[in-house]
Amino acid sequence: MIRQRAAPQENKSKEPGRRLRKKIYLQRERKMTYRDRYLQWCSSPAIDDDTREQLRRIEDDDEQIKLRFASRLSFGTAGLRGVMGAGTNMMNIYTVRHATQGFANVICGHGRSACERGVAVAYDSRHMSREFAEQACRVLAANGIRSYMFDELRPTPELAFAVRDLGCIAGINITASHNTKEYNGYKAYWEDGIQLSPEQADMVSAQIDATDIFDGVKLADERQTREFTTVLGRDYDEKYMQKVLEQSADRRAIERNADMPIVYTPFHGAGYRLVPETLRRAGFRNIIPVEEQMVLDGDFPTVKSPNPENREGFDLGVKLARKVGASLIVGTDPDSDRMGVVVRDGSGEYVALTGNQTGVILLDYLINSLRAAGRLPDDACAVKTIVTTEMAAEVCRANGVGIADVLTGFKFIGGKAEEFEKSGEHTFIFGYEESYGYLAGSYVRDKDGVCASLLICEAAAYYADRGMTLADAMEELYKKYGYHTEHTVNIYMTGLDGERERREFMQRLRQDSCQRLGGLEVLCVKDYLKGVDGLPVSDVMYYQLSGNNVLVVRPSGTEPKVKIYVMTCGPTQEESSRLNAELEQAFRERYTQ
C-alpha cells in the first residue's frame, strides 16, 4: 500500500460575495482568447516596463502571442517549468506570484498553525532564480505565512531536508533542474519533504485557476516581507552535511585512498561549495574542481546543456582528468539533485556511466559494505522506478534484500521510504531512478546529488583497493548478475498541438493488441491508467516481454515528448545490445511510422 499523505484542504470561504466573484471570474476567464489575455497584460498597471516592452515587440507576431498566451503553464506534481519570458505560458515574476498565491491559499486552508510553521524557500544559479524566490516570499508574507529563505543558492536536497528539519508546512525551490538556460521552474513540497502528490497538485492548480493573475495576488511590501522571512545562512549547512556524511558505508576505504584524485564539476550550479566540502570532510584530500565550471552562471557557458546525463558536458573534466591522472570525474546538475559519473576504462579512455549503471554500482556496494560492517538490516529494502533497470532487482534478489517498484518520479521513491518508516515493514537503504537520481538513508525524501557524489567516490575508493576502476567494477557486476542494456528513446511532439499528439499516441498504444515485438513474445501489458500493482493511476504503458525484457512508454512530465524505455538482458553484452536495438526498431516501425 502507498502510504496516505495528509492532503491539503481547499480554503473555502463562507462569504457568498466572495464565491460569486470567483464564479464570475472563472466564467470570464473561460471566454477569453489568447489575444484577450495578451491585451489584458499590455493594459495592466501591474506590468513592469521590461515586460511591457517584451509584449510591444511581439504585437504583430500572432504566432508568438498565441504561444505565450493560448494556455497557462500547467501546475503539476513537478510544480512549474517553462521558458522564461512574458506571458501566461512562460516563467516570469507574475506566473511565479500566481502559483505562490494558489499554494498560499491551500496552506491557509490548514489554519493559523500551518502559516506559523512556514515555508522553506531556496533557489539555484539560473537567471531570475533569486528574484523568483524573493517574489514567492513576498506573496507568502502577504498571506500571513512565514518563510525560511536561504541566503544564497543551495542544492535542492538541502531544501527538502530543511522542510522536515524545520517542521515547515511546505517548501518551494526555484529551479529547472538540468534544463537548458532558457528555462526556469518552481518545485513545490509538502510537509513530508516530498514533492506534491497528484491530488495535492490538483488542489493548488484549482486555486490558481480561480485567482486573477494580477488582482487576485497579494503582495507584501519590503518591511512586511522582512518581518515574515527568516534567512538561513551557511551555519544551517552544517546540519545537512552531517546527515549526508552519516550515509558513508566504509570510511576505511576512504582512509586508504585519501589521495585518490577526484575531478568535480557543478556545471555552474549549486553543488559548487557543498560537494567538495562534503568530500573533504569524509576524508578525501585530492579533490580537483573544473575551475571554468565552478563559476556560478545561469548561461551555463561551457556546456550546451548542464545535464550530467550528457557526456559532452564533461569534456573539460576529461581534459583535466587526463592532466592530473584521475580515473573518476563527478558532476552534479545546477540544483545538485542529480549526479553523473565519467570513469577511465581499461584502455585509458574516459566513458560515461549511465544512471542505471551508477545506481547498480551504488546498490551493490552499499549492500555488501553494510553487511561487512554488520549494519545491513534484516528487513533491508531498496526502491526503484518501473523504468529503472531490472538489474537492480537481480542484485537485491541475489543478496536477500527486498526490492520495491514505484512510478516514475522521485516523489514516489521518497514516499515509499516514508511509508517504510511509518509502517515498520522494511528499512529503506537505497533508492534510485535511471535519470541520475539517488538517495541513501532516511534524512531526506528527495534525490541527493551531494550524498550520491560522496557514495560514488567511496565506492571508487573501495574498488581502488582491488586495483579496479568503476569501469572494471561494472564489468564484474555484469558477469555476476547478467548483461543488461537500457536505452531511452525520446519522441518529441512540440508546438501548440503537441499535447494532443501525445494523448493520441498513448491512445493508439492502448487500442493495439500487440502480441510480439522485436521477435519477443509480449507476456503482459500493464496499463497504469487502470491502476496496476497497487500504484497510483498514471499515463504509462508497461510491456513485459519474454526473457525478462521490458519496454515502458510514458509522456514526459516536464518536456514535450513521449519517452520509451527499452530494457533488455542477455548472456553477453553484444547479445543484450543487439536485442535492445531490435526491440527499439520494432517499436518504431509499429508505432511511429
Looking at the chain, how many residues does it have? 593
**Distance in angstroms (rounded) separating the CA atoms of residues 258 and 461:** 8
What is residue 170's three-state secondary structure? strand
**Distance in angstroms (rounded) separating the CA atoms of residues 198 and 76:** 7
What is residue 260's three-state secondary structure? coil
**Distance in angstroms (rounded) separating the CA atoms of residues 202 and 314:** 39
Antiparallel, parallel or unpaired: β 516-517 and 170-174? unpaired
For the sheet with 437-440, list strands across it: 402-406, 380-385, 427-433, 437-440
**Computed from CA positions of residues 44, 45, 48, 52, in that sequence, does the dihedral angle turn out positive or negative?**
positive
Task: Output phi, psi for 436, to 5 deg.
Answer: 70, 30
**Which residue type sits at 1?**
M
Distances (CA, A) of 321 to 260, 269, 291, 329, 456: 12, 20, 13, 7, 17
Antiparallel, parallel or unpaired: β 516-517 and 520-527? antiparallel
Spatial contact of 542 and 549, defined as CB atoms under 8 Å apart: no
For the sheet with 350-353, list strands across it: 287-289, 262-265, 328-332, 339-344, 350-353
What stretches of 315-362 adopt beta strand conformation (E)? 328-332, 339-344, 350-353
**Distance in angstroms (rounded) separating the CA atoms of residues 403 and 410:** 16
Spatial contact of 329 and 317, defined as CB atoms under 8 Å apart: yes
Spatial contact of 103 and 188, defined as CB atoms under 8 Å apart: yes
Helix intervals (H) in 149-306: 156-165, 198-209, 222-228, 234-245, 251-256, 271-282
Q: How many helices (H) and strands (E) does the chain have?
A: 21, 21
What is the distance in angstroms between the CA of the first residue and the CA of the last residue of the chain? 40
Residues with a known catalytic role = 177
What is residue 446's three-state secondary structure? coil
- Grid coordinates representing 440 are 541513501
Identify the DSSP state of 122. E
- Grid coordinates representing 71 are 494556455
- Grid coordinates representing 13 are 470561504
Among the listed residues 167, 90, 91, the one whose alpha carbon sits nearest the alpha carbon of residue 136: 91
- Grid coordinates representing 462 are 573501495
